[in-house]
Amino acid sequence: QKEVEQDPGPLSVPEGAIVSLNCTYSNSAFQYFMWYRQYSRKGPELLMYTYSSGNKEDGRFTAQVDKSSKYISLFIRDSQPSDSATYLCAGKTGANNLFFGTGTRLTVIP
Amino acid sequence: GAGVSQSPSNKVTEKGKDVELRCDPISGHTALYWYRQSLGQGLEFLIYFQGNSAPDKSGLPSDRFSAERTGGSVSTLTIQRTQQEDSAVYLCASSLATGGFNEQFFGPGTRLTVL
């Protein structure tokens, strides 16, 4: 079993829709939870991170972590065509490497 | 400032050949990481360097894979006797420090195709 599970999609939504991306994880030692965005033929770039449980908001993006259910979510409001990318969730213990989900490919249709 | 750079961007090789992939981290970043991204597998951790030493090599899939880092900067990932299952995008990342949360900045990757 992978440490982080993510539905690969693909997911297509119309411009302006609210997007919900989700992951589950199995490693109880995860302390940090991250969302990366990866455009085609590029490396991933950090979108948001949270420490432990709770919510974090940054503009149109909201990250949620529920450690009791081992569930990680990213919400995108008022989605734009420029949000079209692959979104990767990741967990990190106190050590150094990241454990990634497989990524969800999102397309926002104008 | 410059981000993480990797070379070559694409590499096509024949089965059984050796390949070397290069990573130039962000200047001043002490930690360097190698990941592999395969279709349907997501990013898999390979190895991490703190300075020139590699405290965690747990992700290297076989003894055909090795990596080194010199001068606390450039790193090379070497794959010997390449196999078709080695075909993937190899990503390098660097961070300012380790422990806690230290953002890992990724390079664009090297796309390796083994024929």
CA distance B45 to chain A (A): 7
pLDDT at residue A42 tops 80: yes
Mean pLDDT (chain B, rounded): 93
Mean pLDDT, to the nearest integer, of A82-97?
A: 90
Looking at residue A96, its pLDDT comes to 75
Q: Name which of B92, B104, B111 to mutate to probe chain A: the one with the most chain A Cβ atoms within 10 A of its Cβ.
A: B104
% of chain B with per-residue pLDDT over 90:
77
More confident residue, B54 or B88: B88
* pLDDT band for position A95 (cuts 50, 70, 90): confident
CB of A11 closer than 8 Å to CB of A19 = yes
Chain A residue with the nearest C-alpha to that of B98: A96
Listing DSSP states for A30-94 in one string gives: --EEEEEEE-TTS--EEEEEEESSEEEEETTEEEEEETTTTEEEEEESS--GGG-EEEEEEEE-S
pLDDT in tens, B45-60: 999 999 999 888 889 9
Q: Which of B44, B93, B101 sits opposite A32 (nearest CB)?
A: B101
Chain A residue with the nearest C-alpha to that of B97: A96
Mean pLDDT (chain A, rounded): 93
Residue B115 burial class via C-beta count within 10 angstroms: exposed 0-12, middle 13-18, buried 19 and up: exposed
B41 touches chain A (CB under 8 A): yes
CA distance B25 to chain A (A): 13
* pLDDT band for position B1 (cuts 50, 70, 90): low
CA proximity to B35, closest of A82, A21, A43? A43
Q: Which of B33, B98, B101 sits opposite A49 (nearest CB)?
A: B101
